Structure 1
Amino acid sequence: MSKEKIVSIEDRIPKLKQARKKKANRRLVFYLSIFFFLISIIVYLQSPLSHVKSIVVTGNSYYEDQEVIKQSGIGRETNMWTIDKEVIVQVLEENPLIDSVTIETKFPRTVEIHLIEHERIGYIKKDNVYYPILGNGELLSGSKKDIYPGDAPLLLNFSEKDRLIEMSEELSKLPTNILNLISEIHWAPSDRSKNEIILYMADGFMVKSSIRDFSEKMTVYPSIAAQLESGSEGIIHIGVGAFFEPFKQQEMSEEEIITNAVE
Protein backbone atom coordinates (compact mmCIF):
# COMPACT_ATOMS: atom_id res chain seq x y z
CA MET A 1 0.00 0.00 0.00
CA SER A 2 1.20 3.48 -0.91
CA LYS A 3 1.43 5.99 1.77
CA GLU A 4 -1.34 8.59 1.92
CA LYS A 5 -0.06 12.01 0.83
CA ILE A 6 -0.32 14.47 3.64
CA VAL A 7 -0.78 18.19 2.78
CA SER A 8 0.40 20.51 5.47
CA ILE A 9 -1.74 23.42 6.69
CA GLU A 10 0.92 25.80 5.43
CA ASP A 11 0.33 24.57 1.87
CA ARG A 12 -3.45 24.82 2.12
CA ILE A 13 -3.71 28.39 3.47
CA PRO A 14 -2.66 30.13 0.22
CA LYS A 15 -5.18 28.13 -1.78
CA LEU A 16 -7.97 28.93 0.70
CA LYS A 17 -7.10 32.62 0.56
CA GLN A 18 -7.14 32.55 -3.24
CA ALA A 19 -10.53 30.81 -3.36
CA ARG A 20 -12.02 33.33 -0.88
CA LYS A 21 -10.60 36.20 -2.88
CA LYS A 22 -12.21 34.91 -6.11
CA LYS A 23 -15.53 34.47 -4.34
CA ALA A 24 -15.34 38.00 -2.92
CA ASN A 25 -14.49 39.40 -6.36
CA ARG A 26 -17.48 37.64 -7.94
CA ARG A 27 -19.76 38.99 -5.24
CA LEU A 28 -18.36 42.50 -5.76
CA VAL A 29 -18.91 42.29 -9.52
CA PHE A 30 -22.51 41.10 -8.93
CA TYR A 31 -23.33 43.96 -6.57
CA LEU A 32 -21.65 46.51 -8.82
CA SER A 33 -23.67 45.22 -11.79
CA ILE A 34 -26.90 45.64 -9.87
CA PHE A 35 -25.82 49.10 -8.71
CA PHE A 36 -25.00 50.31 -12.23
CA PHE A 37 -28.18 48.70 -13.59
CA LEU A 38 -30.30 50.64 -11.09
CA ILE A 39 -28.37 53.83 -11.85
CA SER A 40 -29.04 53.26 -15.57
CA ILE A 41 -32.78 52.89 -14.92
CA ILE A 42 -32.87 56.09 -12.88
CA VAL A 43 -30.96 57.97 -15.58
CA TYR A 44 -33.28 56.55 -18.25
CA LEU A 45 -36.42 57.54 -16.34
CA GLN A 46 -35.11 61.08 -15.85
CA SER A 47 -33.97 61.50 -19.45
CA PRO A 48 -35.93 62.33 -22.64
CA LEU A 49 -35.34 58.74 -23.76
CA SER A 50 -38.30 57.65 -21.58
CA HIS A 51 -40.64 60.33 -22.97
CA VAL A 52 -43.38 59.65 -25.50
CA LYS A 53 -42.14 60.16 -29.04
CA SER A 54 -45.12 59.06 -31.13
CA ILE A 55 -48.90 59.12 -30.47
CA VAL A 56 -51.15 57.18 -32.87
CA VAL A 57 -54.95 57.62 -32.90
CA THR A 58 -57.23 55.14 -34.68
CA GLY A 59 -61.00 54.80 -35.09
CA ASN A 60 -61.77 58.52 -35.01
CA SER A 61 -63.95 60.08 -37.70
CA TYR A 62 -65.64 62.95 -35.86
CA TYR A 63 -62.51 64.48 -34.32
CA GLU A 64 -59.04 65.34 -35.56
CA ASP A 65 -56.13 63.34 -34.12
CA GLN A 66 -54.72 66.38 -32.33
CA GLU A 67 -58.02 67.05 -30.58
CA VAL A 68 -58.16 63.47 -29.25
CA ILE A 69 -54.51 63.69 -28.14
CA LYS A 70 -55.21 66.97 -26.36
CA GLN A 71 -58.17 65.45 -24.51
CA SER A 72 -56.03 62.47 -23.46
CA GLY A 73 -53.46 64.72 -21.79
CA ILE A 74 -50.55 62.78 -23.33
CA GLY A 75 -47.70 64.90 -24.70
CA ARG A 76 -44.09 64.72 -25.80
CA GLU A 77 -43.01 65.39 -22.21
CA THR A 78 -45.09 62.51 -20.83
CA ASN A 79 -43.06 59.69 -19.32
CA MET A 80 -43.95 56.30 -20.77
CA TRP A 81 -43.90 54.77 -17.29
CA THR A 82 -46.26 57.29 -15.71
CA ILE A 83 -49.16 56.92 -18.18
CA ASP A 84 -52.35 56.03 -16.28
CA LYS A 85 -54.42 54.19 -18.87
CA GLU A 86 -57.55 53.95 -16.72
CA VAL A 87 -57.68 57.70 -16.16
CA ILE A 88 -57.17 58.47 -19.87
CA VAL A 89 -59.89 55.99 -20.88
CA GLN A 90 -62.28 57.54 -18.35
CA VAL A 91 -61.59 61.06 -19.65
CA LEU A 92 -62.05 60.15 -23.32
CA GLU A 93 -65.20 58.10 -22.71
CA GLU A 94 -66.85 61.16 -21.17
CA ASN A 95 -67.11 62.40 -24.75
CA PRO A 96 -70.70 61.59 -25.88
CA LEU A 97 -69.50 60.61 -29.36
CA ILE A 98 -67.11 57.93 -28.09
CA ASP A 99 -68.37 54.48 -27.12
CA SER A 100 -65.14 52.88 -25.83
CA VAL A 101 -61.38 53.48 -25.68
CA THR A 102 -58.29 51.30 -25.32
CA ILE A 103 -54.75 52.56 -24.71
CA GLU A 104 -51.62 50.66 -25.74
CA THR A 105 -48.02 51.55 -24.89
CA LYS A 106 -45.54 50.14 -27.37
CA PHE A 107 -41.94 50.45 -26.35
CA PRO A 108 -39.68 52.09 -26.71
CA ARG A 109 -41.68 55.35 -27.10
CA THR A 110 -45.06 54.92 -28.83
CA VAL A 111 -48.60 55.28 -27.45
CA GLU A 112 -51.66 54.12 -29.40
CA ILE A 113 -55.18 55.39 -28.67
CA HIS A 114 -57.88 53.16 -30.17
CA LEU A 115 -61.40 54.62 -30.30
CA ILE A 116 -64.75 53.01 -31.03
CA GLU A 117 -67.28 55.73 -31.78
CA HIS A 118 -71.04 55.51 -31.56
CA GLU A 119 -72.38 54.65 -35.02
CA ARG A 120 -74.59 56.99 -36.98
CA ILE A 121 -78.03 55.38 -37.11
CA GLY A 122 -80.16 58.07 -38.72
CA TYR A 123 -80.96 61.74 -39.26
CA ILE A 124 -83.11 64.33 -37.50
CA LYS A 125 -84.64 67.23 -39.40
CA LYS A 126 -84.56 70.63 -37.68
CA ASP A 127 -85.26 73.98 -39.37
CA ASN A 128 -85.01 72.33 -42.81
CA VAL A 129 -81.54 71.00 -42.00
CA TYR A 130 -80.62 67.34 -41.45
CA TYR A 131 -78.42 66.34 -38.53
CA PRO A 132 -76.81 62.91 -38.15
CA ILE A 133 -77.80 61.14 -34.97
CA LEU A 134 -75.73 58.52 -33.15
CA GLY A 135 -76.70 55.30 -31.42
CA ASN A 136 -76.81 57.06 -28.04
CA GLY A 137 -79.23 59.76 -29.25
CA GLU A 138 -76.53 62.42 -29.61
CA LEU A 139 -76.84 64.85 -32.53
CA LEU A 140 -73.78 65.80 -34.59
CA SER A 141 -74.45 69.51 -34.84
CA GLY A 142 -71.18 70.06 -36.71
CA SER A 143 -72.13 67.65 -39.51
CA LYS A 144 -75.43 69.10 -40.71
CA LYS A 145 -76.69 68.49 -44.26
CA ASP A 146 -78.88 70.76 -46.35
CA ILE A 147 -80.18 67.76 -48.31
CA TYR A 148 -81.26 64.46 -46.76
CA PRO A 149 -78.51 61.96 -47.75
CA GLY A 150 -80.87 58.97 -47.66
CA ASP A 151 -78.20 56.58 -46.37
CA ALA A 152 -79.87 56.12 -42.96
CA PRO A 153 -83.44 56.40 -41.60
CA LEU A 154 -85.04 59.81 -41.09
CA LEU A 155 -86.52 60.19 -37.58
CA LEU A 156 -89.54 62.50 -37.46
CA ASN A 157 -91.70 64.04 -34.70
CA PHE A 158 -89.42 62.89 -31.87
CA SER A 159 -90.10 65.89 -29.67
CA GLU A 160 -89.16 64.14 -26.41
CA LYS A 161 -85.46 63.60 -25.82
CA ASP A 162 -85.99 60.39 -23.84
CA ARG A 163 -87.94 58.81 -26.69
CA LEU A 164 -85.29 59.85 -29.18
CA ILE A 165 -82.51 58.31 -27.07
CA GLU A 166 -84.46 55.07 -26.60
CA MET A 167 -85.25 54.87 -30.32
CA SER A 168 -81.61 55.52 -31.22
CA GLU A 169 -80.39 52.81 -28.88
CA GLU A 170 -82.83 50.32 -30.39
CA LEU A 171 -81.74 51.21 -33.94
CA SER A 172 -78.09 50.70 -33.00
CA LYS A 173 -78.93 47.09 -32.08
CA LEU A 174 -80.61 46.32 -35.40
CA PRO A 175 -78.82 44.14 -37.97
CA THR A 176 -77.52 46.28 -40.84
CA ASN A 177 -79.67 44.53 -43.45
CA ILE A 178 -82.86 45.52 -41.59
CA LEU A 179 -81.68 49.04 -40.71
CA ASN A 180 -80.99 49.68 -44.41
CA LEU A 181 -84.63 48.82 -45.24
CA ILE A 182 -86.02 51.65 -43.07
CA SER A 183 -86.62 54.98 -44.82
CA GLU A 184 -88.55 56.95 -42.17
CA ILE A 185 -89.58 56.51 -38.55
CA HIS A 186 -92.45 58.61 -37.18
CA TRP A 187 -93.09 58.85 -33.47
CA ALA A 188 -96.88 58.52 -33.21
CA PRO A 189 -97.90 58.39 -29.53
CA SER A 190 -101.50 57.59 -28.68
CA ASP A 191 -103.63 57.56 -25.55
CA ARG A 192 -102.86 53.88 -25.24
CA SER A 193 -99.07 54.16 -25.49
CA LYS A 194 -96.44 56.84 -25.96
CA ASN A 195 -94.07 54.32 -27.53
CA GLU A 196 -95.94 53.76 -30.79
CA ILE A 197 -94.08 54.38 -34.03
CA ILE A 198 -94.84 54.19 -37.75
CA LEU A 199 -92.13 53.09 -40.18
CA TYR A 200 -91.91 53.60 -43.94
CA MET A 201 -89.86 50.82 -45.48
CA ALA A 202 -87.78 50.95 -48.65
CA ASP A 203 -89.68 47.96 -50.05
CA GLY A 204 -92.98 49.85 -49.95
CA PHE A 205 -94.53 48.50 -46.74
CA MET A 206 -95.45 50.38 -43.60
CA VAL A 207 -94.80 48.99 -40.15
CA LYS A 208 -96.60 49.80 -36.94
CA SER A 209 -94.59 48.89 -33.85
CA SER A 210 -93.33 50.16 -30.52
CA ILE A 211 -90.06 51.74 -29.43
CA ARG A 212 -89.75 49.32 -26.53
CA ASP A 213 -87.81 46.20 -27.61
CA PHE A 214 -88.04 47.42 -31.21
CA SER A 215 -84.74 45.83 -32.29
CA GLU A 216 -85.89 42.43 -31.09
CA LYS A 217 -89.36 42.70 -32.64
CA MET A 218 -88.07 43.83 -36.06
CA THR A 219 -85.98 40.71 -36.58
CA VAL A 220 -89.13 39.01 -37.92
CA TYR A 221 -89.75 41.68 -40.57
CA PRO A 222 -87.79 40.11 -43.48
CA SER A 223 -89.59 36.76 -43.12
CA ILE A 224 -93.01 38.48 -42.94
CA ALA A 225 -92.34 40.69 -45.97
CA ALA A 226 -91.09 37.69 -47.95
CA GLN A 227 -94.41 35.86 -47.44
CA LEU A 228 -96.51 38.72 -48.83
CA GLU A 229 -97.49 38.77 -52.50
CA SER A 230 -95.65 41.13 -54.80
CA GLY A 231 -97.47 44.45 -55.02
CA SER A 232 -99.23 44.03 -51.68
CA GLU A 233 -99.84 47.31 -49.90
CA GLY A 234 -100.64 47.68 -46.24
CA ILE A 235 -99.38 47.86 -42.70
CA ILE A 236 -97.34 45.17 -41.02
CA HIS A 237 -98.16 45.22 -37.31
CA ILE A 238 -95.25 44.01 -35.21
CA GLY A 239 -95.85 43.90 -31.48
CA VAL A 240 -96.73 41.04 -29.17
CA GLY A 241 -97.70 39.22 -32.38
CA ALA A 242 -97.33 40.07 -36.07
CA PHE A 243 -99.94 40.42 -38.83
CA PHE A 244 -100.53 42.22 -42.11
CA GLU A 245 -103.36 44.73 -42.61
CA PRO A 246 -104.03 45.65 -46.29
CA PHE A 247 -104.84 49.24 -47.17
CA LYS A 248 -108.39 50.11 -48.28
CA GLN A 249 -108.97 49.98 -52.01
CA GLN A 250 -109.49 53.74 -52.41
CA GLU A 251 -106.44 56.01 -52.57
CA MET A 252 -105.43 57.60 -49.28
CA SER A 253 -103.25 60.55 -48.53
CA GLU A 254 -100.08 60.08 -46.49
CA GLU A 255 -101.65 61.90 -43.53
CA GLU A 256 -104.71 59.58 -43.64
CA ILE A 257 -102.50 56.49 -43.72
CA ILE A 258 -100.60 57.61 -40.61
CA THR A 259 -103.86 58.49 -38.84
CA ASN A 260 -105.40 55.09 -39.58
CA ALA A 261 -102.25 53.29 -38.54
CA VAL A 262 -102.18 55.02 -35.17
CA GLU A 263 -105.86 54.49 -34.43
Structure 2
Amino acid sequence: MISLLCLVLICAAILAAVTVFFKVKRVTVSGESRYSSEEVLEAAGIAEGENLFFLNKVAITNRIFRDRPYLDTVSIRRKFPDTVEIVLQDCVPSAVVSFENRYWLVDKKGKILEEISEEQTAGYCLVTGLELEDPQVGEYLDFSQQEQGKALSIILNTAENSGILKEIMGIDMTKLFEIRLQYTERFVVELGTVEELEKKISFLNQVVERLGSTDTGVIDLTDPQTARFRPQ
Protein backbone atom coordinates (compact mmCIF):
# COMPACT_ATOMS: atom_id res chain seq x y z
CA MET A 1 0.00 0.00 0.00
CA ILE A 2 2.83 2.34 0.92
CA SER A 3 4.61 1.48 -2.34
CA LEU A 4 1.49 2.30 -4.33
CA LEU A 5 1.12 5.61 -2.50
CA CYS A 6 4.75 6.45 -3.25
CA LEU A 7 4.21 5.64 -6.93
CA VAL A 8 1.15 7.92 -7.03
CA LEU A 9 3.08 10.73 -5.37
CA ILE A 10 5.98 10.32 -7.79
CA CYS A 11 3.66 10.41 -10.79
CA ALA A 12 1.91 13.47 -9.40
CA ALA A 13 5.25 15.21 -8.89
CA ILE A 14 6.35 14.40 -12.44
CA LEU A 15 3.04 15.66 -13.85
CA ALA A 16 3.32 18.84 -11.81
CA ALA A 17 6.86 19.39 -13.03
CA VAL A 18 5.84 18.82 -16.64
CA THR A 19 2.93 21.22 -16.23
CA VAL A 20 4.92 23.95 -14.49
CA PHE A 21 8.13 23.69 -16.46
CA PHE A 22 8.92 23.12 -20.18
CA LYS A 23 6.91 26.09 -21.40
CA VAL A 24 7.37 27.37 -24.94
CA LYS A 25 9.48 30.54 -24.96
CA ARG A 26 10.90 30.42 -28.46
CA VAL A 27 9.80 29.07 -31.86
CA THR A 28 12.36 28.89 -34.69
CA VAL A 29 11.97 28.16 -38.40
CA SER A 30 14.68 26.48 -40.50
CA GLY A 31 15.06 24.78 -43.87
CA GLU A 32 14.77 25.89 -47.48
CA SER A 33 11.44 27.52 -48.24
CA ARG A 34 9.92 30.38 -50.20
CA TYR A 35 7.74 31.17 -47.20
CA SER A 36 9.03 33.63 -44.63
CA SER A 37 9.49 32.74 -40.96
CA GLU A 38 6.74 35.22 -40.12
CA GLU A 39 4.28 33.47 -42.45
CA VAL A 40 5.10 30.08 -40.98
CA LEU A 41 4.93 31.24 -37.36
CA GLU A 42 1.59 32.90 -37.97
CA ALA A 43 0.20 29.73 -39.54
CA ALA A 44 1.63 27.47 -36.82
CA GLY A 45 -0.26 29.33 -34.10
CA ILE A 46 2.04 28.21 -31.28
CA ALA A 47 1.49 30.51 -28.30
CA GLU A 48 4.21 31.46 -25.87
CA GLY A 49 3.67 29.59 -22.63
CA GLU A 50 2.22 26.44 -24.20
CA ASN A 51 3.53 23.23 -22.75
CA LEU A 52 6.12 21.45 -24.92
CA PHE A 53 4.84 18.01 -23.99
CA PHE A 54 1.25 18.75 -24.89
CA LEU A 55 1.82 20.38 -28.29
CA ASN A 56 -0.37 18.82 -30.98
CA LYS A 57 2.23 18.43 -33.73
CA VAL A 58 -0.27 17.02 -36.24
CA ALA A 59 -2.60 20.01 -35.85
CA ILE A 60 0.32 22.46 -36.10
CA THR A 61 1.62 20.73 -39.23
CA ASN A 62 -1.82 20.81 -40.86
CA ARG A 63 -2.20 24.51 -40.12
CA ILE A 64 1.17 25.26 -41.72
CA PHE A 65 0.39 23.20 -44.84
CA ARG A 66 -2.94 24.96 -45.34
CA ASP A 67 -2.73 27.46 -48.22
CA ARG A 68 1.01 26.89 -48.67
CA PRO A 69 1.14 24.48 -51.63
CA TYR A 70 4.90 24.71 -52.18
CA LEU A 71 5.65 22.97 -48.89
CA ASP A 72 6.73 19.36 -49.27
CA THR A 73 7.54 18.43 -45.66
CA VAL A 74 7.02 20.07 -42.28
CA SER A 75 8.70 18.68 -39.18
CA ILE A 76 7.96 19.89 -35.64
CA ARG A 77 10.77 19.29 -33.15
CA ARG A 78 10.73 19.88 -29.41
CA LYS A 79 14.01 21.24 -28.02
CA PHE A 80 13.94 21.15 -24.27
CA PRO A 81 13.58 23.05 -22.10
CA ASP A 82 11.69 25.79 -23.96
CA THR A 83 12.07 25.75 -27.77
CA VAL A 84 10.09 24.46 -30.73
CA GLU A 85 11.85 24.13 -34.09
CA ILE A 86 9.87 24.02 -37.33
CA VAL A 87 11.85 22.49 -40.21
CA LEU A 88 10.56 23.06 -43.75
CA GLN A 89 11.31 21.58 -47.14
CA ASP A 90 9.78 22.99 -50.30
CA CYS A 91 8.61 21.03 -53.32
CA VAL A 92 10.74 21.29 -56.45
CA PRO A 93 8.82 22.17 -59.64
CA SER A 94 9.32 19.45 -62.26
CA ALA A 95 6.86 20.05 -65.08
CA VAL A 96 3.84 21.96 -66.31
CA VAL A 97 0.67 20.02 -67.14
CA SER A 98 -1.55 21.57 -69.80
CA PHE A 99 -5.26 20.87 -69.61
CA GLU A 100 -8.15 22.77 -71.19
CA ASN A 101 -5.97 25.79 -71.99
CA ARG A 102 -4.79 26.09 -68.38
CA TYR A 103 -1.31 25.37 -67.07
CA TRP A 104 -0.51 23.68 -63.78
CA LEU A 105 3.00 23.68 -62.30
CA VAL A 106 3.64 20.35 -60.52
CA ASP A 107 6.42 18.55 -58.68
CA LYS A 108 7.56 15.03 -59.51
CA LYS A 109 4.94 13.57 -57.16
CA GLY A 110 2.17 15.28 -59.11
CA LYS A 111 1.39 17.93 -56.48
CA ILE A 112 -0.05 21.07 -58.03
CA LEU A 113 2.03 24.03 -56.87
CA GLU A 114 0.30 26.84 -58.75
CA GLU A 115 -1.53 27.78 -61.91
CA ILE A 116 0.65 29.77 -64.29
CA SER A 117 0.20 31.57 -67.59
CA GLU A 118 1.24 30.18 -70.96
CA GLU A 119 4.12 32.65 -71.04
CA GLN A 120 5.42 31.32 -67.71
CA THR A 121 5.69 27.75 -69.01
CA ALA A 122 8.98 28.56 -70.76
CA GLY A 123 11.84 26.63 -69.23
CA TYR A 124 9.64 23.85 -67.88
CA CYS A 125 8.83 20.45 -69.34
CA LEU A 126 5.34 20.86 -70.84
CA VAL A 127 3.10 17.79 -70.52
CA THR A 128 0.17 17.50 -72.89
CA GLY A 129 -2.49 14.90 -73.67
CA LEU A 130 -3.63 14.24 -70.09
CA GLU A 131 -7.24 14.21 -68.87
CA LEU A 132 -7.55 15.72 -65.39
CA GLU A 133 -10.37 15.76 -62.86
CA ASP A 134 -10.92 19.21 -61.30
CA PRO A 135 -7.28 20.26 -60.68
CA GLN A 136 -6.79 22.36 -57.55
CA VAL A 137 -3.67 24.12 -56.26
CA GLY A 138 -2.24 22.28 -53.26
CA GLU A 139 -3.82 18.98 -54.28
CA TYR A 140 -2.36 16.10 -56.29
CA LEU A 141 -3.24 15.58 -59.93
CA ASP A 142 -6.36 13.46 -60.32
CA PHE A 143 -6.54 11.67 -63.66
CA SER A 144 -9.55 10.49 -65.59
CA GLN A 145 -7.36 7.52 -66.55
CA GLN A 146 -5.23 6.38 -63.62
CA GLU A 147 -2.75 4.76 -65.97
CA GLN A 148 -1.85 8.24 -67.21
CA GLY A 149 -0.88 9.24 -63.69
CA LYS A 150 1.30 6.18 -63.20
CA ALA A 151 3.04 6.73 -66.53
CA LEU A 152 3.71 10.42 -65.83
CA SER A 153 5.12 9.63 -62.39
CA ILE A 154 7.44 7.02 -63.87
CA ILE A 155 8.68 9.41 -66.55
CA LEU A 156 9.30 12.36 -64.21
CA ASN A 157 11.00 10.32 -61.51
CA THR A 158 13.12 8.24 -63.89
CA ALA A 159 14.15 11.29 -65.91
CA GLU A 160 15.11 13.19 -62.77
CA ASN A 161 17.06 10.25 -61.33
CA SER A 162 18.86 9.92 -64.67
CA GLY A 163 19.72 13.61 -64.73
CA ILE A 164 17.93 14.40 -68.00
CA LEU A 165 14.68 16.02 -66.84
CA LYS A 166 15.99 19.51 -67.57
CA GLU A 167 16.66 18.43 -71.16
CA ILE A 168 13.07 17.31 -71.76
CA MET A 169 11.09 20.23 -73.14
CA GLY A 170 7.83 18.38 -73.69
CA ILE A 171 5.96 15.13 -73.13
CA ASP A 172 3.03 14.15 -75.34
CA MET A 173 0.92 11.58 -73.49
CA THR A 174 -2.15 11.61 -75.74
CA LYS A 175 -1.66 7.88 -76.32
CA LEU A 176 0.02 5.85 -73.58
CA PHE A 177 1.44 3.42 -76.11
CA GLU A 178 2.83 6.24 -78.26
CA ILE A 179 4.39 8.63 -75.75
CA ARG A 180 6.68 11.18 -77.38
CA LEU A 181 9.30 13.45 -75.81
CA GLN A 182 10.80 16.68 -77.10
CA TYR A 183 14.43 16.26 -76.04
CA THR A 184 16.20 19.63 -76.22
CA GLU A 185 15.39 21.46 -79.43
CA ARG A 186 17.09 18.83 -81.58
CA PHE A 187 15.34 15.52 -81.03
CA VAL A 188 11.89 13.99 -80.92
CA VAL A 189 12.02 10.81 -78.87
CA GLU A 190 9.47 8.10 -79.65
CA LEU A 191 9.22 6.45 -76.26
CA GLY A 192 6.31 4.13 -76.94
CA THR A 193 5.34 3.00 -73.43
CA VAL A 194 7.14 3.44 -70.09
CA GLU A 195 8.13 -0.21 -70.12
CA GLU A 196 11.82 -0.60 -69.18
CA LEU A 197 12.21 3.17 -69.14
CA GLU A 198 15.61 3.17 -67.45
CA LYS A 199 17.01 1.03 -70.26
CA LYS A 200 15.43 3.31 -72.86
CA ILE A 201 16.98 6.38 -71.28
CA SER A 202 20.34 4.63 -71.27
CA PHE A 203 19.93 4.05 -75.03
CA LEU A 204 18.92 7.68 -75.45
CA ASN A 205 22.10 8.90 -73.78
CA GLN A 206 24.23 6.58 -75.92
CA VAL A 207 22.61 7.79 -79.15
CA VAL A 208 22.99 11.47 -78.26
CA GLU A 209 26.64 10.98 -77.31
CA ARG A 210 27.41 9.46 -80.71
CA LEU A 211 25.70 12.16 -82.74
CA GLY A 212 27.23 15.42 -83.85
CA SER A 213 26.42 18.72 -82.17
CA THR A 214 24.24 19.82 -85.09
CA ASP A 215 22.40 16.56 -85.76
CA THR A 216 18.62 16.63 -85.45
CA GLY A 217 15.96 13.97 -85.93
CA VAL A 218 13.88 11.26 -84.33
CA ILE A 219 15.22 8.78 -81.78
CA ASP A 220 13.07 5.66 -81.75
CA LEU A 221 13.06 3.90 -78.37
CA THR A 222 9.86 1.95 -78.82
CA ASP A 223 11.83 -1.33 -78.73
CA PRO A 224 13.39 -1.69 -75.23
CA GLN A 225 16.19 -3.79 -76.76
CA THR A 226 17.55 -1.23 -79.21
CA ALA A 227 17.44 2.38 -80.40
CA ARG A 228 17.15 3.82 -83.88
CA PHE A 229 17.92 7.31 -85.16
CA ARG A 230 16.19 8.91 -88.14
CA PRO A 231 17.93 12.12 -89.19
CA GLN A 232 15.97 15.11 -90.36
TM-score normalized with structure 2 length: 0.67
Q: Residues of 1 paired with 2:80 and 2:215: CA distance?
A: 63
Q: Residues of 1 paired with 2:34 and 2:178: CA distance?
A: 32
Q: Residues of 2 paired with 1:146 and 1:51: CA distance?
A: 50
- Do the aligned residues in 2 keep the contact of 1:170 with 1:213 (CA within 8 Å)? no
Q: Residues of 1 paired with 2:16 and 2:190: CA distance?
A: 70
1:221 to 204, 207, 228: 204
Partner of 1:55: 27
Change (3 A) 1:146 1:59: farther
Partner of 2:76: 103
Describe the SS at the equivalent of 2:48. Answer: coil
- Is 1:170 the counterpart of 2:155 in the alignment? yes
**Which one-letter code corresponds to 1:120 in the other structure?**
P
**Which one-letter code corresponds to 2:19 in the other structure?**
Q
Q: Residues of 1 paired with 2:63 and 2:24: CA distance?
A: 19
- Do the aligned residues in 2 keep the contact of 1:89 with 1:101 (CA within 8 Å)? no
Describe the SS at the equivalent of 1:46. Answer: helix
**Which one-letter code corresponds to 1:182 in the other structure?**
I
Partner of 1:179: 165
Q: How does 1:143-222 map to 2 (within 5 A)?
A: 143-160=115-132, 161=143, 162=146, 163-164=148-149, 166-173=151-158, 174-175=160-161, 177-189=163-175, 194-209=176-191, 210-212=193-195, 214=197, 217-222=200-205
- Do the aligned residues in 1 keep the contact of 2:25 with 2:48 (CA within 8 Å)? yes
Gaps of at least 5 residues in structure 2 are 1-8, 133-142
Partner of 1:114: 87
- My pick for the range that moved more, 145-154 or 105-114, is 145-154
The offset of 1:200, in angstroms, is: 0.9
Describe the SS at the equivalent of 2:95. Answer: strand
Q: How does 1:115-154 map to 2 (within 5 A)?
A: 115-126=88-99, 128-141=101-114, 143-154=115-126
Q: Residues of 1 paired with 2:108 and 2:126: CA distance?
A: 14
Change (3 A) 1:84 1:215: farther
2:220 to 222, 231, 237: 237
**Which one-letter code corresponds to 1:131 in the other structure?**
W
- Do the aligned residues in 2 keep the contact of 1:130 with 1:147 (CA within 8 Å)? no
Answer 1 or 2: higher relative contact order, Cα 8 Å, separation at least 6. 2
Query: Which protein is richer in helix relative to its size?
Result: 1
CA RMSD of aligned residues (A): 3.7
Describe the SS at the equivalent of 2:164. Answer: helix
Change (3 A) 1:164 1:61: farther
| Matched residues, number | 205
TM-score normalized with structure 1 length: 0.61
Deviations 1:53-86 (A, max 9, x none): 222333463655566557666443431122365x
Gaps of at least 5 residues in structure 1 are 1-34, 249-263
Q: Residues of 2 paired with 1:146 and 1:83: CA distance?
A: 44
Q: Residues of 1 paired with 2:162 and 2:46: CA distance?
A: 36
Describe the SS at the equivalent of 2:169. Answer: strand
- Do the aligned residues in 2 keep the contact of 1:137 with 1:169 (CA within 8 Å)? no
Change (3 A) 1:187 1:72: same
- Do the aligned residues in 1 keep the contact of 2:61 with 2:76 (CA within 8 Å)? no
Partner of 2:138: none
- Is 1:45 the counterpart of 2:18 in the alignment? yes
The offset of 1:165, in angstroms, is: 5.6
- Do the aligned residues in 1 keep the contact of 2:29 with 2:86 (CA within 8 Å)? yes
- Do the aligned residues in 1 keep the contact of 2:22 with 2:80 (CA within 8 Å)? no
**Which one-letter code corresponds to 1:118 in the other structure?**
C
The offset of 1:212, in angstroms, is: 4.7
